[in-house]
Amino acid sequence: MAGGAVVNTSGGKDYPGRLTLFVFFTCVVAATGGLIFGYDIGISGGVTSMNPFLKKFFPEVYNKKQMKGSANQYCKYDNQLLQTFTSSLYLAALVSSFFAATVTRVVGRKWSMFTGGLTFLIGAALNGAAENIAMLIVGRILLGVGVGFANQSVPVYLSEMAPARLRGMLNIGFQLMITIGILAAALINYGTNKIKAGYGWRISLALAAVPAGIITLGSLFLPDTPNSLIERGHPEAARRMLNRIRGSDVDISEEYADLVVASEESKLVQHPWRNILQRKYRPQLTMAIMIPFFQQLTGINVIMFYAPVLFETLGFKGDASLMSAVITGLVNVFATLVSVFTVDRLGRRKLFLQGGSQMLVSQLVVGTLIAVKFGTSGVGEMPKGYAAAVVLFICLYVAGFAWSWGPLGWLVPSEIFPLEIRPAGQSINVSVNMLFTFVIAQAFLTMLCHMKFGLFYFFAGWVVIMTVFIALFLPETKNVPIEEMVLVWKGHWFWRRYIGDADVHVGANNGKGAAIA
């Protein structure tokens, strides 16, 4: 593949060990941190399409919705306060991710997850009981703090617990839980919208306490990762934990020695936030910024945040728009499962490139279909058959995202950083993701009003750029132990210029046997 250096995994270090039942269950519990993120993504768009919710908190939008006939379909939800309701969470997540980095490093990954779950629990209660805009926004901010902590700690935890050759599959469990959360939210919205008394939106918002409770209680029973235990000065506990997660009959001496070497090097780093700017970390820093930046510019949040709103804008009515969101949620879950079972065989690059191509075609078709029916005026009707075609191509788009940029946007940044800058690197990844999630959430309805069908072409253009970026600058990272990842960058046609021979330290055997093809 053009521009990619490939690690020869048959010649690379392959630590002994298997997927033990203990590792599987700990990773499943940790991955439930994705439920709180997914549930929120799915629930917010649903409640903002419910008339009782709009009537109580956003009467201007409600009145605009009631206009018949000549109403501009593109602009009826254009309201800055409504967008702030959705986007405030992501701004809070951005800020909290920096605090989460310190908690993750100093007291361990599990306590960062616990903090996230507990804060999300409080935010869910506040939103469910909200009587005014202020309560809604404060609740959303607390939800954001929870998301920031969970998104910072969970991918790192999964990458550190998993055997290298299964790291992709287990790490994508986080994204799978996000998609399950989105689907659950869509189903709940569909059900609560039928409550005649008009309080369905309260149930939808308050039920965020369920996924929050799962990760809060679950994290109390999670063990710390060997990497974290070594980093915090518990070498014997780390050895016992590594032995337990790899299997009691497995020789862990080589992997343990490499973890110790990585930890000793990390202790020499007094200022990880400053050190991450060093030349030798330029490849990882670039990916930690560009991958989450591009992930949000795929346009996925146009679909997932505002799915019911978007479908209603495209001419679907009430229940039909919520059901369309359920359909895309189902596609999201099953397509993510494709990634779970293929990422460690096909590799990250192939999924990125194939998914990008599929999203590009789908966005162009959806944009064109909307242009034909609504033009630039936004006035028109969409027949059932035509609407079904729109839903079909949106589902194809969601599937392409769900087995590429969705899971890999979290997996790749979490597996490329050396221990000494890992919490800082993951915080940058989360904060960039949340920053542009906030920007898109805050701007989307206004962009739709002004750019109309051209919004889909706008995101399609970004998909072209990001696919070319991956083709040229992302090397394959499948099956490579985290402690040996420096060899991947050293062997890449572009990034090798930033890494000197003295920067290559890969553990007990100093990288012997780990070849770059």
Q: Give the pLDDT confidence of 308-340 residue by residue, as tens digits.
A: 666 776 667 667 777 777 888 899 999 999 999
What token pair was written down for 132?
Answer: 């005014």
Which residue, among 339, 314, 306, has the nearest Cα to 437 in the 3D structure? 306
DSSP-assigned beta bridge partners for residue 7: 516
Residue 286 pLDDT class (50, 70, 90 cuts)? very high
**For residue range 392-448, what is the model confidence (pLDDT) as tens digits?**
898 999 999 999 999 999 889 888 988 778 878 888 988 898 899 888 878 877 887
Q: Can you say how many angstroms the Cα of residue 499 is from the centroid of all Cα atoms in its chain?
A: 29
Domains and CATH numbers, the chain: 21-502 (1.20.1250.20)
Query: What pTM does this model have?
Result: 0.79
The predicted model gives 462-478 an average pLDDT of 96
* Residues 23, 223: Cα–Cα separation, whole Å: 10
Tally DSSP H helices, then E strands, for the chain.
Answer: 24, 0
User: Best-predicted range by mean pLDDT among 51-60, 83-92, 501-510?
Assistant: 51-60
pLDDT band at 517 (very low <50, low <70, confident <90, very high): very low
Which residues, other chains included, contact 512 with Cβ-Cβ below 8 Å and sequence gap of 6+? none
State the sign of the Cα–Cα–Cα–Cα dihedral 420, 422, 423, 425: positive
Which distant-in-sequence residues (6+ apart) come within 8 Å of 470 by Cβ?
Answer: 349, 352, 353, 356
Of 215, 26, 31, 186, which Cα lies nearest the Cα of 119?
215
Q: Quick one: pLDDT at residue 515?
A: 37
Residue 37 is encoded by which pair of tokens?
């993120």
Q: What does the DSSP 8-state code read for residue 198?
A: S
Alpha helices in 375-453 (DSSP H): 384-402, 405-415, 422-451
Q: Which residues pair with 516 in a beta bridge?
A: 7
